[in-house]
Amino acid sequence: MTREERVKLISAIEAARGSTVISYVAADRQGLEINIATDVFPILHSHLAKVGYQNQIDLFLYGTSGLPMAGYALVNLFREFCGRFNVIIPFKAHSTATLIALGADELVMSEMGQLSPIDPSVQHPLSPKITLPNQLVQDVPVNVEDVDGFLSFAKNELGLGGEESMQKVLDALSSNVNPLVLGAMYRSREQIAFLAAHLLKQHMDDDELIDRAVSVLTSKRFSHQYIISRKEAKDGMGLNVIEPDAQLASLIVGLWEQYVEITEVDKPYNPQTVLEREFVKVSNFDRGIIESKDVTHVFRTQKEVERSEMSIPQSPFPQIAYREQILEEGWIEDGRL
């Protein structure tokens, strides 16, 4: 696995597609996840500036979470540099990555390509709190689908349709979730629906299809974990999904497998695996990639991991504890990767 091998794959995809390809992988390795965010904009801009204005740019995209406004702005950034903006989805393009996909003239999806709903979860200073086993207090994200589900359950299953009974339901809801959080959640859903519709209107002119797609993504699939296959994206939502032929599909999956090797997205993070037989170790973790034929950037975290053993009274076995300290992290250029 070398940059030279990846560039060959990128060049082959470009030749098959008649396009310029830029990769953006925001990996979701368990324990080392990163989000799609605005910190990548200067780096993406440097890649786009190198290739210059193109008739067609394909964004090779993987991601599962992030800031909706970052996804919206990313599409607008790419469209400054091309006549047609397309997205290649080798595997997961969930949440904010789905929002990016909505801005594409074409979606090239592999057989395992996935989209997801874009209904937002809201974290707010006034969100409900839980106390973790280590006594740390953590905010609980409030998901719009959970609130809708609670209200639908009250109406449809319990038959509480009257004004007085629904007032009691709302009182119970607002006693557990601050009304300001509920307001922020509603505003967030309205915003993300607006962003999705606006992105679709950049390349679609059928208002009925646009409304249907936005409805599916924001309220009609009941769970943020719902997986939208390429068939549903095409037939159920009316998106312009392209199914690659066998040769192109092999190139797309091959490039994705190269990125899996770099990010180890298929291996949950475990400090003991990092240490092996050592008690202290400094390791690098490549958690994201932005790459074109010209240059490679990675989001790298350098972390010191230390294992300690403590004797427990009346226990024959010591208790194992780990201390982790991030020494350095951020996007860097790495031509040796």
Same domain, 109 and 239: yes
Same domain, 105 and 58: yes
pLDDT in tens, 216-236: 888 766 566 789 999 999 998
Q: What percent of the chain has pLDDT over 90?
A: 65
pLDDT in tens, 185-216: 666 677 888 999 999 999 999 999 999 999 88
Same domain, 68 and 104: yes
267, 29 Cβ separation under 8 angstroms = yes
> Domain residues for 87?
3-116+227-265
53 found inside a domain: yes
Same domain, 174 and 85: no
Handedness of CA 219, 220, 226, 232 (dihedral sign): negative
Structure tokens at 215: 């409805």
| Residue 159: pLDDT band with limits 50, 70, 90 | low
pLDDT in tens, 104-152: 999 999 999 999 998 665 554 545 665 555 555 555 565 666 666 665 6
Q: Give pLDDT, residue 295.
A: 96
pLDDT at residue 41 is higher than 60 = yes
Same domain, 107 and 137: no
Q: Give pLDDT, residue 157.
A: 60
Same domain, 130 and 166: yes
Cα Rg of the chain, angstroms: 23
| Residue 69: pLDDT band with limits 50, 70, 90 | very high
Same domain, 172 and 33: no
Same domain, 22 and 71: yes
286 found inside a domain: no
pLDDT at residue 74 is higher than 90 = yes
Residue 20: CATH number of its domain: 3.90.226
57 found inside a domain: yes
294 found inside a domain: no
Residue 16's nearest CA partner among 254, 240, 294, 247 is 247
Last residue of a domain, one of 168, 184, 200: 184
pLDDT in tens, 279-323: 999 999 999 999 999 999 999 999 999 998 877 777 777 788 889
84 found inside a domain: yes
Same domain, 237 and 112: yes
93, 61 Cβ separation under 8 angstroms = yes
Same domain, 164 and 179: yes
34 found inside a domain: yes
292 found inside a domain: no
Distances (CA, A) of 292 to 2, 3, 8, 14, 330: 14, 10, 11, 11, 19
Last residue of a domain, one of 216, 239, 265: 265
Instruction: Tally the domains of the chain.
Output: 2
21 found inside a domain: yes
Measured in degrees and rounded to the nearest 5, phi and psi for residue 256 equal: -60, -40
Same domain, 105 and 70: yes
Same domain, 235 and 100: yes
> DSSP of 196-239, one letter per residue?
HHHHHHTT---HHHHHHHHHHHHTSSS-TT--B-HHIIIIIT--
Q: What share of the chain is helix, strand, coil (3-state, %, to 5)?
A: 40, 25, 30
